């Protein structure tokens, strides 16, 4: 076993719905080391989990410079997902570690949950469900997605899929994105113009960074100023990255009904325990947008395939 390459799997539910990803690793003659804690690993736990590993099927644990520089055997990080906010890409490059993601697999799962949240907020489904369970029989008047001005920030794979789904419901769709080379067929706007226009706003973009005295740091894309540009009663959704929205400003605007509702799947700190939990016009899910069975299986298989292909690119000793 000492000469058998070790592959560490840090995601807590890997292969829960299909053994195919594990079978692929075993068929390749690799030794598998799984996450036994059943949750996202801390920096120190990730360091211990990855010691001696040649490759990692990674979740969202912090793969920081400290972790990566302490792992001389590590050759490949294969993210089971799309986001790389938790990976120090500069450190990975310096260490000669190849990084791969699975951008296609979760696209439809995230897009469908986005659409579901929009419909839920528009028709007050979750709110009325809670009220009925509490003994209150109140019919709340909702709105249609058809005809709504729906703004999308980030027109990549997920954003463009959300755009097509919303358009199929008869929504008017526009977007903001630094790139305009995709030929989406939907109008592109400057960010502030999109905010002023959007009755529904949904985020599908990376977390921006800003430069300060202490270096580069993540910063909200939508702070109080940006949120106040939205029309009165607008709905806001974030199924992209925690920290994209100033959660305190969002709370304040929801309390005053300047905004009509919000749907969040990601948060600045997770697990989320903030004040938005107290508001009846907010839908909160636990960072599960990609958690559709079919998408999860495909994502895990793609992550393994990416890892095997990347390992094959290294010269044999």
Tokens of 301: 């298989």
The whole-angstrom separation of Cα 264 and Cα 40 is 19
Please give the distance of CA 233 from its chain centroid, rounded to a whole number.
25
Which of 90, 270, 293, 294 is an active site residue? Answer: 270
Mean pLDDT within 69-97: 94
Report whether pLDDT(217) > 90: no
Tokens of 112: 């469908």
Tokens of 137: 């029989």
- Encode pLDDT of 173-215 as tens digits: 999 998 765 678 999 999 999 999 999 999 999 888 665 554 5
The total number of residues shown for the chain amounts to: 317
Label each residue of the chain as H, E or C.
CCCCCEEEECCCCCCCCCCHHHHHHHHCCCEEEECCCCCCCCHHHHHHHHCCCCEEEECCCCECHHHHHCCCCCCEEEECCCCCCCECHHHHHHCCCEEECCCCCCHHHHHHHHHHHHHHHHHCHHHHHHHHHCCCCCCCCCCCCCCCEEEEECCCHHHHHHHHHHHHCCCEEEEECCCCCCCCCCCECCHHHHHHHCCEEEECCCCCEEEECCEEEECCCECHHHHCCCCCCEEEEECCCCCCECHHHHHHHHHCCCEEEEEECCCCCCCCCCHHHHCCCEEECCCCCCCCHHHHHHHHHHHHHHHHHHHHCCCCC
Query: For position 76, what pLDDT does the model report?
Result: 98
Mean pLDDT within 227-250: 97
Nearest to 165 by CA among 175, 155, 173: 173
The question of whether 257 is a catalytic residue gets the answer no
CA distances from 15 to 10, 86, 301 (A): 12, 22, 9
101 pLDDT band (50/70/90 cuts)? very high
The question of whether 270 is a catalytic residue gets the answer yes
Query: For position 209, what pLDDT does the model report?
Result: 66
The whole-angstrom separation of Cα 13 and Cα 32 is 14
Which of 123, 268, 287, 305 is an active site residue? Answer: 287
Which of 98, 172, 204, 241 is an active site residue? Answer: 241
- Encode pLDDT of 115-124 as tens digits: 999 999 999 9
179-188's contacts with Cβ under 8 Å and 24+ in sequence apart are 179/155, 182/155, 184/155, 184/160, 186/152, 186/155, 188/155
Strand order across the 98-100 sheet: 31-34, 6-9, 55-58, 76-79, 98-100
Query: For position 117, what pLDDT does the model report?
Result: 98
User: Which residues contact residue 215 at a Cβ distance below 8 angstroms, ignoring those fewer than 6 apart?
Assistant: none
Angle at 295 between CA 39 and CA 171, to 5 degrees: 115
Mean pLDDT within 133-142: 98
The whole-angstrom separation of Cα 299 and Cα 105 is 5
């Amino acid at each position: 076993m000492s000469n058998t390459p070790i592959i560490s799997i840090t995601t807590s539910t890997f292969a829960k719905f299909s053994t195919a990803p594990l079978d692929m690793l075993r068929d390749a003659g690799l030794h598998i080391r799984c996450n036994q804690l059943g949750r996202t690993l801390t920096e120190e736990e990730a360091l211990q989990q990855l010691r001696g590993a040649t490759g990692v099927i990674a979740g969202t644990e912090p793969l920081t410079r400290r972790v990566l520089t302490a792992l001389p055997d590590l050759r490949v990080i294969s993210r089971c997902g799309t986001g790389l906010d938790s990976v120090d890409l500069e450190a990975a490059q310096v260490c000669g570690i190849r990084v791969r993601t699975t951008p296609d697999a979760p696209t439809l799962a995230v897009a469908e949950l986005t659409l579901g949240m929009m419909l839920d907020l528009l028709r007050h489904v979750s709110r009325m469900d809670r009220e009925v369970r509490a003994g209150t029989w109140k019919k709340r008047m909702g709105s249609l997605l058809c005809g709504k001005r729906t703004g999308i920030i980030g027109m990549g794979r997920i954003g463009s899929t959300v755009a097509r789904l919303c358009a199929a419901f008869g929504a008017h769709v526009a977007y903001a994105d630094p790139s305009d080379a995709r030929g989406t067929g939907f109008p592109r706007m400057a960010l502030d113009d999109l905010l002023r226009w959007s009755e529904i706003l949904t985020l599908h973009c990376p977390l921006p960074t800003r430069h300060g005295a202490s270096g580069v740091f993540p910063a909200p894309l939508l702070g109080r100023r940006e949120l106040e540009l939205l029309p009165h009663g607008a709905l806001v959704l974030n199924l992209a990255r925690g920290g994209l929205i100033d959660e305190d400003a969002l709370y304040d605007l929801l309390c005053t009904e300047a905004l009509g509702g919000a749907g969040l799947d990601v948060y600045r700190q997770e697990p989320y325990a903030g004040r938005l939990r107290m508001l009846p016009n907010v839908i909160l899910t636990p960072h599960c947008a990609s958690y559709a069975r079919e998408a999860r299986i495909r994502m895990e298989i793609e992550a393994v395939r990416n890892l095997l292909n990347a390992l094959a690119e290294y010269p044999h000793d």
